[in-house]
Amino acid sequence: MHKKSRARTRHRRAHWKAAAPLLVACANAACRQPTPPHAACRHCGMYRGRQVLPPA
């Protein structure tokens, strides 16, 4: 086995980028805060039209 050069290692890692978190507007018309998809809203506690968490 030969040592991988620094250039080869960095070339391989050049595509390791951090992706920005995907956010959608809360479905609650009164809230509309950015929330991850398929997750309860941290601000109002609603998920798919139901109150599932206590409002923050």
Which helix (H) or strand (E) segment holds residue 34: the answer is strand 34-35
Q: Which ranges in the chain belong to alpha helices (H)?
A: 6-13
pTM, full prediction: 0.62
Phi, psi of 6 (to 5 degrees): -60, -40
Of 4, 52, 3, whose CA–CA distance to 28 is shortest?
52
Burial of 44 (C-beta count, 10 Å sphere; 0-12/13-18/19+):
buried
Per-residue pLDDT of the chain (56 residues; tens, 9 = 90+): 899 999 998 998 888 889 999 999 999 999 999 999 999 999 999 999 999 999 87
